[in-house]
Every structure is written in structure tokens, then in C-alpha cells.
């Protein structure tokens, strides 16, 4: 088996169009005769190709089929071109965007060259820009597809490749499987035709995106002075969102945000955070400190490609479920009617809110590629979210999650509440008194050996717990349910757990929820304390259940 793997590595290296990647593999092959770690590294790189997960291709920057590199990107672009050609789209336009991660600009050029060589009219965004701008550009330019080179919130040594079709939304079956099959049929990366005459776009697309977001959220419905008074702290987390976000806020009539200086400029090393993900412990520490110094009413963190955002109010980082419910409640009170959607791993309160307002609610599989497709012609999607800090507040603008429009919506809501001396957390308390306290949390286990995840899922399916928090629970294998996903749901009175493998990272995740009634005597603070204690106990019980 090792001899076969080495032969595969030599063949891949000989075909690799990138000098640096080829030399990297050749050095590992040479070292493998005396260094077991080199053999182990080659085994990882040739264990299999990257596959389309929840958000397209994503993986570590390294040579070989199981990494992000020029050869993999060449084949991905060629496979996309073949699929689009078979669908009858040769000659149509394709939009390409990229963030500021290591090699993102290179991979965008490789993509543009391959797609141009295949006969498509390729337009490349002028510089590193947020993912929502690319999603917007696909429909705005009338393109048949789009590619965004980004690994979003993954570690610094990762990169990724998101593919959009003409609707500006991420791939769903069968297109993802058909493109994956087309990639597998590409053959030699060196033999792929390449062109050079693609178009570099100007600033027009970003200008139009900014105008569309502001028009959709109608900031003029709130007094101009109230908007100017709001103090906002902000961080781009070393990503590409700062400039576009500043433009959106200015166009909406807000004062300039207070931006974390150490994190304002793009930096692919993400030097001030362990992981460039606002969900990770410590990631928003600099933002919280700045908010305190500036006396900010609200603090907002975007992830590196600005398709997610996190919110801090009064020193407390809100959960994705809390922000999702606040935004939905704000839109509902504004009279925005249509379908409201959330992924099945998100909290249950949105369903309660939509029922109270008499509007449709859709529960979808995990991932914005499903959320953005919720709704019907009679009741189109007007808002969607998932607990991992992703929100579609303006789905008519970007057919994907959009941290920039969500940030503006949060600011408008905070400014509106401030007129009456209230805050985002005050509104959460009001919702808890009206509907009960829905407390959500997560247990996330990162692994190196993916077999640990499959093993834990198999054990859970074979021996699900009969009780959690002392309450009877019923287990449902969602792989066999109406929402076919690789997940198990445990549901009982006031308690819910959904366990699934992550679609973008080597993690097993358990999504936890408890519902606590709010007593007139003890009030919301007591309910929050009880909810936090029950979540802590639920984590302990699930760690034991999963045996990880």
C-alpha cells in the first residue's frame, strides 16, 4: 500500500502545474525512505480528494489531492467548466471573487484562466472583497455561475472554494455531485486549457452592493439623529469586511464605527486570534475591550470573509440564536411578511415567533444553501438564519448569509431601542417574558482522526440515551427523516439535542437547547441562571453519551 501511495505521489507531482507544490511533494517522497513522518504526511495527502461539503471545497494549503493547491483548483475550475458546458452555458459569464488568505489571489487567477480557456466570459472582482459581494455579483451581472476563493473562518493554513450557480446560492444536489464527478474526470492538470483575457471589474459591483443593502433595510424609517447617536465598536478580524462595512454604515447615516486597529487590515496570519472565528473563546476580546473604552452601545465582529457576524451588548456576547431571534422579531415588527427560516440545529424560538405573527416558518437542513432556498412563490424567503452566526436579512441582495447587512440591521435595531433607553438584551428579556427562555449552547469536539466522529455517531444511533436532565427523550435518526441529514435528534419536554458532524471542519457538534418558563416572581434573571445550569449539565451528560 505504501508503494502504491508513493507511486501516486510521484505521478501527481509530475503532473502538478505549480513549481512550489511539485517541489513540496518531491521532497516528501524523497524523505519517506528514511522519515516515517514524511510517509505519514503523504498518506494524509493522498487519502482521497477534497469533496464538496456544506460550503464547497475547503482544506489545508498543501500539495496533493487532499489539500488546497494550484492543481486541485485547476481541476475544480475545469470540472465546473465541463459541467456548465454540458448544461449548455458555454460563452456565458462567470464571476470570480477572493479574500485575503494565503494564495487566494493566485487561486482566483488560476480559476479565471481555466474558465476563460474553456470559453466562458470571466469577470474577477478587483481586490479581496467579502463573500456576500460575490454572491450579489452573480445575479447582478447575470452570470451563470460564481466562484469565491475563501476558507471563511477556518484556521490560517486553510483555504477553500465556494461555487455558486446563476441564482447566487451555494450548490445543492445534484449539481454538487455532478460537478464533483466532472472534476474527477478532468485528467491531467497540465493539459487543461488556459486563457488570459478575463475582465478585472472596477468598483461598480461593490458600489451597487452597498446601495442595494441600504435600500433593502430602509434606514430612513428611523430618525437620522438616532442613527448618528449610536456608538458602534467593530472588528473585521483581520479579514476583508472593514471597507465595505464602513461604506454601508456611512450610506445608512451612521457615525463612523470604532474599529479594532490591530484587526482592521487583512492579514492571512490572523496574528491576534487563535482561530479567526467569532465563536471561538477569546476571539472577540479586543473588540470587547474597545467597546468598553469607546462606551459603545453595541459591538459587532465579522468573520474574515464577512459572511457571518457576532454581536456583543453590555459586555455579553450574544449567541447566534439570540441575534437571529432579535433580527426576526425586528423584521416582524416592521411588518415584513413572507417565509422565515432556520436550520434544524438552530433554536426553536423563531418557530414560536412566526406562529405568533401568523407568517410561514421553514426548518431546513444545515447550511445556508438550504436556508436560502426556503419559501414559496406566494411567500418568498424574507429572513433566514442559523446558530453559527449566519443571517440572511436581505436575501433579495445576496443569496447567502451576509454579515454586513446583518451588522447594519443590528445597528438599526440597537438605535431604535436606544430611543426608548433600551438595549438588545432588554429586548431579549422582553421576548423571554412573552415566550419563555430558550437557552441554547453547543458542545464541539475537534479531532484529528475522523473515525472518532463516525464511531461516536454509530454508538449514538445504536444506544441513544433514554433520558437527559432526568426527562424522557426520544431519539430520531434524521438521516431517515424528512430532512435527510447525518444527524441524531434527542427530544423531550423542555430539552433538545442534535448531534452531527461538522460540514466544514473536523469536529463533532452537539447543539443543545433547554426551554425554561419565566416566573412572575423570580423573573428572567432566575430563568437565565437555571437555563445556564441546565446547559452545563446537558454538556456533561452528552460528553458521557458520546464517549469522546
Q: Could you give the residue ranges of the DSSP H alpha helices within 162-284?
A: 175-184, 204-217, 224-229, 242-251
Q: Answer left, alpha or beta for residue 35, where phi above 0 means left and psi between -120 and 50 means alpha.
A: beta
Tell me which residue has cell 465541463: 82
Q: How far apart are CA 415 and CA 223, in angstroms?
A: 9
The three-state secondary structure class of 254 is coil
According to DSSP, the β-strands at 390-392 and 339-343 are: unpaired
106, with CB counted inside 10 A (0-12, 13-18, 19+), is middle
According to DSSP, the β-strands at 488-492 and 471-477 are: antiparallel
How many C-beta atoms lie closer than 10 Å to residue 301's C-beta?
30
DSSP state of 198: P
From the list 111, 101, 15, 104, the residue with the least C-alpha distance to 63 is 15
Q: Give Cα separations from 463 to 244, 301, 467, 470, 488 (angstroms).
A: 49, 40, 12, 17, 11
Determine contact, residues 234/284, Cβ cutoff 8 Å.
no
Q: How far apart are CA 54 and CA 172, in angstroms?
A: 9
Q: How far apart are CA 219 and CA 228, in angstroms?
A: 11
Q: Specify which residues 474 forms β-bridges with.
A: 491
Q: How far apart are CA 345 and CA 199, in angstroms?
A: 41
Does 152 participate in catalysis according to the annotation? yes
* CA 198 to the chain's CA centroid: 28
How many C-beta atoms lie closer than 10 Å to residue 382's C-beta?
23
Determine contact, residues 279/310, Cβ cutoff 8 Å.
yes
Q: How far apart are CA 118 and CA 82, in angstroms?
A: 8
Q: Quote the radius of gyration of the chain (alpha carbons, Å).
A: 24
Determine contact, residues 324/389, Cβ cutoff 8 Å.
no
First to last CA, the chain: 30
How many C-beta atoms lie closer than 10 Å to residue 211's C-beta?
14
Candidates 104, 123, 135, 152; catalytic one: 152
Query: How is residue 101 written as a grid cell?
Result: 488568505
DSSP state of 402: -
Tell me which residue has cell 424574507: 382
Determine contact, residues 234/260, Cβ cutoff 8 Å.
yes
Determine contact, residues 369/391, Cβ cutoff 8 Å.
no
The three-state secondary structure class of 210 is helix
Catalytic residues: 152
Amino acid at each position: 500500500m505504501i508503494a502504491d501511495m508513493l507511486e501516486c505521489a510521484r505521478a501527481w507531482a509530475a503532473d502538478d502545474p505549480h513549481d512550489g507544490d511539485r517541489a513540496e511533494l518531491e521532497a516528501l517522497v524523497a524523505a519517506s525512505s528514511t522519515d516515517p513522518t514524511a510517509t505519514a504526511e503523504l498518506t494524509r495527502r493522498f487519502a482521497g480528494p477534497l469533496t464538496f461539503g456544506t460550503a464547497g471545497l475547503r482544506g489545508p494549503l498543501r500539495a496533493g489531492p487532499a489539500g488546497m493547491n494550484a492543481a486541485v483548483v485547476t481541476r475544480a475550475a475545469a470540472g465546473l467548466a465541463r459541467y456548465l458546458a454540458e448544461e449548455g452555458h458555454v460563452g456565458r459569464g462567470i464571476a470570480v471573487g477572493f479574500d485575503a488568505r494565503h494564495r487566494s489571489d493566485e487561486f482566483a487567477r488560476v480559476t479565471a484562466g481555466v474558465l476563460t480557456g474553456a470559453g466562458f466570459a470571466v469577470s474577477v472582482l478587483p481586490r479581496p472583497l467579502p463573500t456576500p459581494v460575490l454572491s450579489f455579483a452573480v445575479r447582478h451581472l447575470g452570470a451563470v455561475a460564481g466562484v469565491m476563493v475563501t476558507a471563511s473562518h477556518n484556521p490560517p493554513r486553510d483555504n477553500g472554494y465556494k461555487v455558486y450557480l446563476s441564482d447566487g446560492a451555494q450548490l445543492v444536489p445534484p449539481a454538487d455531485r455532478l460537478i464533483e464527478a466532472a472534476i474527477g474526470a478532468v485528467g491531467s492538470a497540465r493539459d487543461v486549457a488556459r486563457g488570459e483575457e478575463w475582465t478585472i471589474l472596477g468598483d461598480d459591483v461593490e458600489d451597487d452592493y452597498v446601495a442595494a443593502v441600504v435600500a433593502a433595510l430602509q434606514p430612513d424609517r428611523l430618525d437620522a439623529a438616532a442613527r448618528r447617536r449610536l456608538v458602534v465598536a467593530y472588528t473585521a478580524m483581520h479579514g476583508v469586511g472593514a471597507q465595505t462595512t464602513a461604506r454601508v454604515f456611512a450610506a445608512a447615516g451612521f457615525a463612523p464605527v470604532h474599529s479594532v486597529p490591530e484587526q482592521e487590515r487583512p492579514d492571512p496570519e490572523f496574528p491576534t486570534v487563535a482561530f479567526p472565528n467569532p465563536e471561538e473563546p477569546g476571539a472577540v476580546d479586543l473588540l470587547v475591550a474597545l467597546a468598553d473604552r469607546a462606551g459603545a452601545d453595541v459591538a459587532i465582529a465579522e468573520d474574515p470573509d464577512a459572511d457571518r457576524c457576532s454581536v456583543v451588548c453590555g459586555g455579553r456576547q450574544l449567541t447566534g440564536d439570540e441575534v437571529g431571534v432579535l433580527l426576526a422579531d425586528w423584521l416582524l415588527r416592521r411588518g415584513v411578511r413572507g417565509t422565515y427560516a432556520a436550520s434544524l440545529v438552530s433554536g426553536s424560538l423563531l418557530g414560536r415567533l412566526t406562529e405568533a405573527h401568523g407568517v410561514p416558518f421553514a426548518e431546513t437542513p444545515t447550511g445556508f444553501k438550504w436556508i436560502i432556498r426556503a419559501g414559496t412563490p406566494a411567500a418568498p424567503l424574507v429572513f433566514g438564519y442559523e446558530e453559527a452566526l449566519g443571517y440572511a436579512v436581505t436575501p433579495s441582495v445576496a443569496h447567502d448569509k451576509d454579515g454586513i447587512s446583518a451588522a447594519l440591521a443590528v445597528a438599526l435595531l440597537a438605535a431604535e431601542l436606544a430611543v426608548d433607553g433600551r438595549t438588545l438584551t432588554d429586548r431579549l428579556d422582553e421576548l423571554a417574558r412573552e415566550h419563555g427562555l430558550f437557552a441554547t449552547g453547543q458542545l464541539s469536539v475537534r479531532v484529528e482522526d475522523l473515525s472518532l466522529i463516525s464511531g461516536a455517531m454509530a454508538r449514538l444511533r445504536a444506544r441513544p440515551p433514554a433520558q437527559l436532565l432526568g426527562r424522557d427523550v426520544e431519539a430520531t435518526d434524521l438521516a431517515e427523516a424528512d430532512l435527510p441529514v447525518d444527524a441524531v435528534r434527542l427530544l423531550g419536554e423542555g430539552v433538545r439535542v442534535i448531534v452531527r458532524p461538522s460540514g466544514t471542519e473536523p469536529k463533532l457538534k452537539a447543539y443543545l437547547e433547554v426551554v425554561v418558563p419565566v416566573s412572575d416572581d423570580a423573573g428572567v434573571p432566575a430563568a437565565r441562571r437555571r437555563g445556564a445550569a441546565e446547559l452545563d449539565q446537558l454538556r456533561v451528560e452528552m460528553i458521557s453519551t458520546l464517549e469522546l
